[in-house]
C-alpha cells in the first residue's frame, strides 16, 4: 500500500512544536512561518523574522528545528526550509541545504554546539513560567502575599489553568518534579530559596518574565510592521498583564501630596 502524502495540516502541526528559544513560543504562533507548500511528498517552508539582524544563532536553531520537525512527519520526502530576508539568509540556507550542521555553517564563529545556549533559555523559560503561575495566583487571591510564596506547592496552583500547564511542561523539560507536593518556587536545578529570600527570588523571576514577554511584544510588533498582514498569522499568549483588574486609577500627582 502506498503511504498517503503529508497534508499541510500535518506539517503545520509539526512546526507548532518548534519554539523561538528566546521567546518560548511556537514559531507558528509568532507568525514566523511565511509560507508552506506541500507537493506530493515534498515540503518547502519559508521562515521570516522581525528584523534582518535577529540573532543568527537563534535563527539557525529555529530553521534546523523546523527542518527536523517537518522531516519527521510520516510520508514527507524532500524537505526545503529557507530563511528569508535575513543578513545571514544565504549562509544559513546553504548550510541547511547541504546538511552542514551548525559548525559546518558558521565556521570560525561557532565553537562547540548550541546545546548550552538552548539550555540557558530552557532555564529562563521555566523561570518565566514559574513567575506567571505565581503572579496569577497572587493577583487572583489578594490575601496571599509575596512573603508566602515559598510555602506554595504545585498542588496549590489551579488545575488545568494555562499557566499551571505551561509551568508543568517547562519543569518536565528540565527534569524537575511535577507532583503536587513539589514546591513551586525553585531554581532551575530544583533548589528552593531560603524563606527569607523567597520574595526577592520571585522579584528576580519577575524581571526574567517581563524581559521574555517584552521581547515577544517587540518581535510580534516588528514582524507585523515589516510584513504587513503578518498579524493575522499571530496568536498571543495570554498574560496576567494584558487586562488591568478593575480598580481606581492611580492619580498622577505625587504620592506625598496624598498622605
Partner 1 sequence: MYSKDGEDYFVVDAHIALWDARQENQRNVHGKQFIDCFYDYHRNLSPESEVWPYEEYLYQGGERLMRDVFGNGIVDHAIFQPARLGEFYHRGFGQTEEAFALAQEHPDKLTYNHWWDPRDGENGLDQLRADAERFGLKGVKLYTADWHGESRGWKLTDPMAYRYLEACRELGITNIHIHKGPTIRPLDRDAFDVADVDHAATDFTDLNFIVEHCGLPRLEDFCWIATQEPNVYAGLAVAIPFIHTRPRYFAQIMGELVYWLGEDRILFSSDYALWTPTWLVERFVDFQIPEDMAEYAALTTEVKKKVLGLNAAKLYDLPVPERLRLPDAAEPATGPRQPAAADLAMS
Give me the residues that bind partner 1 (CB under 8 A), please: 22, 50-58, 60, 87, 102, 106, 108-114, 116-117, 120, 123-124, 127, 146, 187-188, 193, 197, 200-201, 203-208, 210-211, 213-215, 217-218, 221-222, 224-226, 241, 244-245, 247-252, 254-256
Measured CA angle at 235 (ends 234, 237), to 5 deg? 135
Choose between 71 and 239: whose C-beta lies nearer to partner 1: 239
Run of H or E including 141 = none
C-alpha–C-alpha distance, residues 59 and 109, integer Å: 14
CA dihedral 156, 161, 164, 170 (to 10 degrees): 170
Choose between 108 and 175: whose C-beta lies nearer to partner 1: 108
Choose between 112 and 179: whose C-beta lies nearer to partner 1: 112
Within 5-114, residue ranges assigned H as helices are 8-15, 27-30, 56-71, 89-97, 101-106
C-alpha–C-alpha distance, residues 99 and 131, integer Å: 39
Choose between 2 and 232: whose C-beta lies nearer to partner 1: 232
- The CB-of-197 to partner 1 minimum distance in angstroms stands at 6
- The CB-of-198 to partner 1 minimum distance in angstroms stands at 10
Choose between 157 and 219: whose C-beta lies nearer to partner 1: 219
- The CB-of-109 to partner 1 minimum distance in angstroms stands at 5
- The CB-of-146 to partner 1 minimum distance in angstroms stands at 8
- The CB-of-75 to partner 1 minimum distance in angstroms stands at 34
C-alpha–C-alpha distance, residues 30 and 100, integer Å: 27
- Contacts made by residues 163-168, CB under 8 angstroms, sequence distance 24+: 163/129, 163/132, 163/133, 163/136, 163/240, 164/133, 166/129, 166/132, 166/133, 167/126, 167/129, 167/130, 167/132, 167/133
Choose between 36 and 182: whose C-beta lies nearer to partner 1: 182
Which is nearest to 237 in space by CA: 63, 95, 93, 24?
A: 24
- The CB-of-107 to partner 1 minimum distance in angstroms stands at 10
Amino acid at each position: 500500500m502506498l503511504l498517503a502524502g503529508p497534508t499541510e495540516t500535518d506539517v503545520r502541526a509539526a512546526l507548532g512544536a518548534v519554539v523561538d528559544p528566546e521567546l518560548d513560543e511556537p514559531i507558528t504562533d509568532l507568525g514566523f512561518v511565511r509560507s508552506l507548500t506541500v507537493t506530493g511528498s515534498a515540503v518547502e517552508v519559508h521562515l521570516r523574522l522581525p528584523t534582518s539582524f535577529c540573532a543568527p544563532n537563534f535563527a539557525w536553531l529555529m530553521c534546523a528545528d523546523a527542518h527536523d520537525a517537518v522531516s519527521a512527519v510520516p510520508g514527507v520526502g524532500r524537505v526545503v526550509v529557507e530563511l528569508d530576508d535575513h543578513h545571514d539568509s544565504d549562509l544559513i540556507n546553504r548550510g541547511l541545504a547541504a546538511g552542514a550542521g551548525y559548525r559546518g555553517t558558521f565556521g570560525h564563529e561557532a565553537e562547540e554546539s548550541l546545546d548550552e545556549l538552548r539550555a540557558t533559555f530552557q532555564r529562563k523559560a521555566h523561570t518565566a513560567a514559574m513567575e506567571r503561575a505565581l503572579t496569577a495566583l497572587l493577583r487572583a487571591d489578594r490575601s496571599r502575599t509575596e512573603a508566602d510564596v515559598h510555602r506554595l506547592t504545585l498542588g496549590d496552583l489551579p488545575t488545568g489553568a494555562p499557566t499551571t500547564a505551561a509551568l508543568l511542561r517547562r519543569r518536565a523539560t528540565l527534569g524537575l518534579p511535577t507532583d503536587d507536593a513539589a514546591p513551586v518556587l525553585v531554581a532551575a536545578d530544583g533548589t528552593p530559596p531560603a524563606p527569607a529570600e523567597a520574595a526577592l527570588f520571585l522579584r528576580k523571576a519577575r524581571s526574567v518574565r517581563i524581559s521574555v514577554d517584552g521581547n515577544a511584544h517587540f518581535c510580534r510588533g516588528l514582524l507585523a510592521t515589516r510584513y504587513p498582514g503578518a498579524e493575522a498569522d499571530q496568536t498571543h499568549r495570554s498574560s496576567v498583564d494584558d487586562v488591568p483588574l478593575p480598580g481606581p486609577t492611580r492619580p498622577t500627582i505625587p504620592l506625598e501630596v496624598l498622605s
